Amino acid sequence: MRFIPHTPEDVRAMLATVGVASVAELFADVPAALRERARLDLPPGASESAVRARLESLAARNPGAACLSFLGAGAYPHFVPAVVDQILQRAEFYSAYTPYQPEVSQGTLQAIFEFQSLVAMLFDCDVANASMYDGASATAEAVLMALRVRPKRRKVLVSRALHPQYRQVITTYLEGAGDVEVIEINFDATGATDQGALAAALDDGTAAVVVGYPNFFGVLEPLDAIVTAAHARGAVVVSATAETLALGAAKAPGTSGVDIVVGEGQSLGGALNYGGPGVGLFATRSEHVRLMPGRLVGETVDGDGRRGYVLTLATREQHIRREKATSNICTNQGLMALAVTVHLSMIGRQGLRTLALTNLQRAHAAATALCATNRWTRRFSGAIFNEFVIAGSDARAAVDAARGRGVLAGVPLGTWYPELDDSVLVCATEIHAESDIAMLAEVLR
Amino acid sequence: MTEPVRKQAGLLLEEPLIFERSRPGRAAFALEGEVESAEQLLPTELRRASIDGFPEVSEPEVLRHFLRLSQWNLGTATTFYPLGSCTMKYNPVVNEAIARLPGFARLHPLTPDELAQGQLELMWELERCLAEVCGMDAISLQPAAGAQGELSGMKMVRAYHVERGRARKKVLIPASAHGTNPASAALAGYSVVPVEGNRVGLLETDAVRRAMDDDVAALMITNPNTLGLFEREIVQIAEVVHAKGGLVYLDGANLNALMGIAKPGHMGADVLQFNLHKTFSTPHGGGGPGAGPIGVRASLMPYLPTPRLVRDGNGIRWSEAFPQSIGRVRSFHGNAGMHVRAYAYILALGGDGLTLATQMAVLAANYIRRSLESTYHVAVPAVCMHECVLSDKGMEAHGVKTLDIAKRLLDFGFYAPTIYFPLVVSGALMIEPTETESKETLDEFIAAMQQIAREARESPDTVRNAPTRTPVTRLDEARAARRPVLRWRRESGVVSRES
């Protein structure tokens, strides 16, 4: 077996040292009744070339990966500079683990410290953690944290314009977390959370208000107003950004006073990979840092006074606090956090803005082109980033017809929102050329 | 102005933070076309200027920065990394290439099922393979990591009981469990009742029987346990739990000790999580991404996270039609890129190869244990499974602790074992060699451990002052916690040292 080095000679020598006659003897503690039934009914092993051929044939049966696509809805196609993957393929990074021994893990630790710094700046927050699994579970963890910040309150208001899968994960995580009441707040004609409905639902029992930014419809919620309303009743505000690139051009949630800012970082250096791995981003104010889930890297010095980095404030975590921990997270998404760090270092201060504005421009160009067909209208009036909702008759049939012509034109919304059965969510990014947008309008005509 | 970069020894170079490499106006990225005017598409109150402090660095400098950082890291690709409980086996390079095939890497998660049949077949097949390895009836690949698999499993336990009248209140957890077990149980709404193991650290049926009542929802048990011992009474223990209507959650973190040897489903486990980054060779990534699929027996199948894969005459598709499901635990379909790698690994090894991996992993752990038992205190001086636990007992006389031994190993070019875990052994060193390390490597490690024991007796300061041959010497972790500096800040052009 090519990954296992032991020759028959090695095995004999090792058995002799251990003092047993055979490998089977090592398993004497396992009841015979279990051993007798344990044979694996799997095919025999295969060579590297055979494995590769099999996987290539499976990859070839994903024609969707090669289609012209305008699918977004939480996973976004973006350009990634070649340097990013070159670094991700450094085995020194990918074959290490959680940096428990900092003296020989400074690469991982400094990169995470840079990641935390970048996320904090991007969100305009005091402090960010070392990453979460994805945007959806980060949002659920943010809700749990909000309940720790406001321990006497048991009500959570969740915008219906937040990504439906994020809402589902919040529901899953809250099951069993005590009697927490989740109230969904509808959206209005702008595509943003209905301010009147929010104001009516807010009371002194409200622990948290949760909104998307941009939300599922691509609309940038009026965070200033939401924060003002929520803080007036003492509620914590959580914002979730599925398309983090938006923050290269749009005001940061932290600037609006959002208390816990979370997001999905796949847009920043990650491939689509059928939706995973992504990377959850999580940031908050300094005063809440000990209530925050996940790992944290901090700066310190070594015995010679040289600067270095270590995992810190671990007393919040499961391996120290066990059932009293702020979360059960152990492994997070370290390598994806590295991807974000390298990507943002490559894109840089001006590039991030340029890239974000390009997305803004392409999405508006696509919306304009679709409305010019006279078949479609914009469903919502709110400001968007790189995603928008169009409405028209036979929306689903139109998307199916486009698929027949090799174009994935968007995500029909009827599945998640019965009242939006006539609507499609369309995403355009910097990868879409003018000719791609013309093609979209052509197939959706 | 920053000080000129000070070189260290040989190939090890100092490297500042990326922010400190920034110079206004440098860039590694540009796009064609003018887009500044696009800002007008946003209302004034939503606009944002470029972000102060963001990197301004050229491409060669970015590359050099991260290459230098990589050189400060040890990983399984560079050295022996015997981190107990983490199964740091070799990550096959071909899997990295396979996962990057455009058919996988460029596939959007909301691609219509009929245009993603290759991906769905891969996931379907991986579910079958995992079910075969653990003897379970159904699998969900959705959880993103082992701990999220645990949480999902415990939520399913809760759903199962709720449907039968009441959630119950308690979960039994052996004292030797990973911290994730009690944390997951608590997150699922349960209070934790610790169960003590016997003199050698094994769980006894009688202890479980005494703790078991009809308020106990489940027992969470790791098998082999964190001492590297197979829980010999597991079948009887499961019977006791089941007799009172409870369920058995088996932590699959140590599955590398069981492949082809024993199946958790036959032991009486009702639900378990896999750690694909441990048992099935997907990269640990400096702390993720992992993947934590869950396997269940038929009785728990209705509660699996949705969506689930179903197969009919038209192929494979996602279905949400499972009303009893606990719902979603993350967006989309899990860490699919890790599923690709794990499937490639299983194909490469096959049933016989997986069994051999287990056999060699167990042989290697016992080889280390026997080779070091005359030098170090061994927590349980008996045949172990895939890992063995030593301790610093007997070193106190020289003023040398487990932490010192670990740090000294770094000077020899090895990563350190897991230390101070399991908690049931004072000053534990938990060593897991895995099957991918050669006898020569194991011998070098054994020799290093023997030399450290000698140094502890003859020149204890050498051990206490370690490491000295690493990019930095021992770091002040107390200071990091006392005065947290958790990010870089620029304040009025001066690099700040305070968060």
Contact call for A348 and B55, based on CB within 8 A: yes
B110, B147, B465 ranked by CB distance to A330: nearest: B147
Q: Which of B77, B155, B406 sits opposite A95 (nearest CB)?
A: B77
Selected for mutation to probe chain A from B64, B104, B108 (highest A CB count within 10 Å) is: B108
CB-based contact B115 A18, cutoff 8 Å = no
Nearest chain B Cα distance for residue A37, angstroms: 7
Please report the pLDDT score of residue A68 as a whole number: 98
Scan residues 190-219 of A and list those with Cβ closer than 8 Å to B.
none
B9 — pLDDT class (breaks 50, 70, 90): low
Please answer yes or no on whether A274 and B83 come within 8 Å at the CB atom: no
- Enumerate the residues of chain A whose CB falls inside 8 A of the CB of residue B479: 300-301
Percent of chain B at pLDDT > 90 equals 93
pLDDT of residue A177: 81
Least CB–CB distance from A249: residue in B42, B54, B69: B42
Q: Residue B4: what pLDDT?
A: 46
Contact B105 A272 (CB under 8 A): yes
| Nearest 10 degrees: Cα torsion B378, B380, B381, B384 | -110
Cα A32 from Cα A4, distance rounded (Å): 26
Q: Do the beta carbons of residue B329 and residue A169 sit within 8 Å? A: yes
Query: Hunting for tokens 């421009």 — which residue is that?
Result: A361
Please enumerate in sequence order all residues whose Cβ is within 8 A of that of A424, keeping only pairs 6 or more positions apart, or say none: A389, A390, A391, A392, A395, A398, A399, A409, A410, A411, A412, A413
Q: Using CA coordinates, name the residue in chain A closest to B292.
A: A331
Q: What are phi and psi of A6, to 5 degrees?
A: -75, 120
Task: Name residues whose C-beta falls within 8 Å of residue B58's C-beta, 6 or more positions apart in sequence.
Answer: B26, B27, B28
| B70/A175 CB distance under 8 A | no
Please report the pLDDT score of residue A308 as a whole number.
Answer: 97
Mutate to test the interface with A, among B111, B331, B338 (most CBs of A within 10 A): B331
Contact between chains at B146 and A331 (C-beta distance less than 8 A): yes
Unique residue bearing structure tokens 């809700």: A143
Nearest CA in chain A to B287: A98
Contact list in B for residue A85 (CB cut-off 8 A) is 100
Size of the A and B interface in Cβ pairs below 8 Å:
730
The verdict on a CB contact (< 8 Å) between B106 and A341 is no
- To the nearest whole Å, the CA of A443 is away from the closest chain B CA by 17
Question: Tokens representing A377?
Answer: 């209208």
- Angle between helix axes A8-18 and B439-458 (nearest 10 degrees) is 40
Per CB-CB distance under 8 Å, the chain B contacts of A19 are: 370
B-chain residues near A304 (CB < 8 A) = 472-473
Nearest residue in chain B measured CA to CA from A349: B54
Cβ separation of A74 and B109 shorter than 8 Å?
A: yes
How far is A408 from A44, CA to CA, in rounded Å? 39
How many CA atoms are closer than 13 Å to the CA of A47, on its beta-carbon side? 3
Show pLDDT as tens, one digit a residue, over chain A (445 residues). Answer: 899 999 999 999 999 999 999 999 999 999 999 999 999 999 999 999 999 999 999 999 999 999 999 999 999 999 999 999 999 999 999 999 999 999 999 999 999 999 999 999 999 999 999 999 999 999 999 999 999 999 999 999 999 999 999 999 999 999 988 889 999 999 999 999 999 999 999 999 999 999 999 999 999 999 999 999 999 999 999 999 999 999 999 999 999 999 999 999 999 999 999 999 999 999 999 999 999 999 999 999 999 999 999 999 988 888 888 888 889 988 789 999 999 999 999 999 999 999 999 999 999 999 999 999 999 999 999 999 999 999 999 999 999 999 999 999 999 999 999 999 999 999 999 999 999 999 999 999 9
> What's residue B496's pLDDT?
39
Q: Which chain B residues have a beta carbon less than 8 Å from that of A135? A: 331
Mean pLDDT, residues B226-242:
97
Per-residue exposure over A210-221, b if at least 16 CB sit within 10 Å of its own CB, e if not: bbbbbbbbbbbb
How would you list the strands of the sheet with A387-391, edge to edge? A377-378, A387-391, A423-427, A411-412
Residues of chain B contacting A352 with CB distance shorter than 8 Å: 50-51, 54
Contacts of B465 in chain A (CB under 8 A): 303
Longest dimension (CA), chain B: 75
Count of other CB atoms within 10 angstroms of residue B397 = 9
A444 touches chain B (CB under 8 A): no
**CB of A371 within 8 Å of any CB in chain B?**
no
Tokens of B479: 């200071």
Do residue B78 and residue A92 have CB atoms under 8 angstroms apart? Answer: yes
Measured at the alpha carbon of residue A386, what is the angle toward residues A384 and A390, in degrees to the nearest 5?
70
Confidence category of residue B11, pLDDT binned at 50, 70, 90: low
**Distance, CA of B487 to CA of A160 (rounded, Å):** 34
Token pair belonging to B203:
């769980």
Ramachandran angles phi, psi of B384, nearest 5°? -110, 180
Q: Which residues of A fall within a CB distance of 8 Å from B414? A: none
Distance, CA of A337 to CA of A278 (rounded, Å) = 9
B497 pLDDT higher than 50: no
Question: From A297, which residue of chain B is nearest by alpha-carbon distance?
Answer: B486
**H/E element, B368:** helix B336-372
| Cα A352 to the center of its chain, rounded Å | 19
Q: CA-to-CA distance for A53 and A59, rounded, in angstroms?
A: 10
Token pair, residue B491, equals 């304040």
CA distance A416 to B480: 46
Verify whether the Cβ–Cβ distance A348 to B26 is below 8 Å. Answer: yes
Cβ contacts (< 8 Å) between A57 and chain B: which residues? 118
Per-position DSSP letters for A146-174, written without gaps between them: HHHHSTT--EEEEETTS-HHHHHHHHHHH
The candidate with the shortest Cα–Cα distance to A237, out of A217, A265, A218, A256, is: A256
What are the structure tokens assigned to B29, written together? 């990225």
**Cβ–Cβ of B286/A338 closer than 8 Å?**
yes
pLDDT at B158: 97
- β-strand partners of B258: none
Provide CB contacts within 8 A for A400, sequence distance 6+: none
Name every chain A residue with its beta carbon within 8 A of the beta carbon of B59. 81, 83, 346
Q: How far apart are CA B289 and CA B100, in angstroms?
A: 15
Do the chains contact at B105 and A65, CB–CB below 8 Å? Answer: yes
pLDDT at B499 over 50: no
pLDDT for residue B1 is more than 80: no
Measured distance CA(B269)–CA(B272) in Å, rounded: 7
Record: contact A42-B351, CB cut-off 8 A:
yes
Contact between chains at A101 and B410 (C-beta distance less than 8 A): yes
For B437, the closest chain A residue by CA position comes to A5
Contact A26 B476 (CB under 8 A): no
Distance CA A403, CA A397 (A): 10
Residue of chain B whose alpha carbon sits nearest to that of A164: B331
State chain A's maximal CA–CA distance in angstroms: 83
pLDDT of residue B38: 96
| Chain B nearest C-alpha distance from A369 (Å) | 16
Read off the pLDDT of residues B449-489 as tens digits, 9 standing for 90 and up: 999 999 999 999 999 999 999 999 999 999 999 999 999 99
Identify the CA nearest to A121 among candidates A236, A281, A358, A277.
A281
Would you call B479 and A300 a contact, using CB atoms and an 8 Å cutoff? Answer: yes
Backbone torsions φ then ψ of A236, nearest 5 degrees: -85, 140
In the predicted structure, residue B218 carries a pLDDT above the cut 50:
yes
Q: Count the helices and strands in chain B (H runs, E runs).
A: 15, 15
* C-alpha dist (Å) from residue B430 to A4, A165, B271, B276, B423: 22, 39, 26, 21, 11
At residue B345, the pLDDT reads 98
Q: Do B479 and A301 touch (CB under 8 A)?
A: yes
Instruction: Measure the CA–CA gap between A210 and A156, rounded to whole angstroms.
Output: 8
* Region of residue A90 (phi > 0: left; psi between -120 and 50: alpha; otherwise: beta): beta
- pLDDT tier, B494 (very low <50, low <70, confident <90, very high otherwise): very low
Is A348 near chain B, with CB under 8 Å? yes
Contact A134 B144 (CB under 8 A): yes
Structure tokens at A351: 């590039």
**How many other CB atoms are there within 10 angstroms of residue B374's CB atom?**
9
A positions 241-260 inside 8 Å of B (CB): 247-252, 255
Q: Which of B425, B437, B155 is nearest to B306 (CA)?
A: B155
Q: A12 and chain B: CB distance < 8 Å anywhere?
A: no
What integer pLDDT is reported at residue B12 of this predicted model? Answer: 65
Write the burial class of residue A22 (CB in 10 Å: 0-12 exposed, 13-18 middle, 19+ buried).
exposed
Contact predicate A395/A412, CB 8 Å: yes
Q: Mean of the per-residue pLDDT values for chain B?
A: 95
Residues in chain A closer than 8 A to B109 (CB atoms):
74-75, 272, 274-276
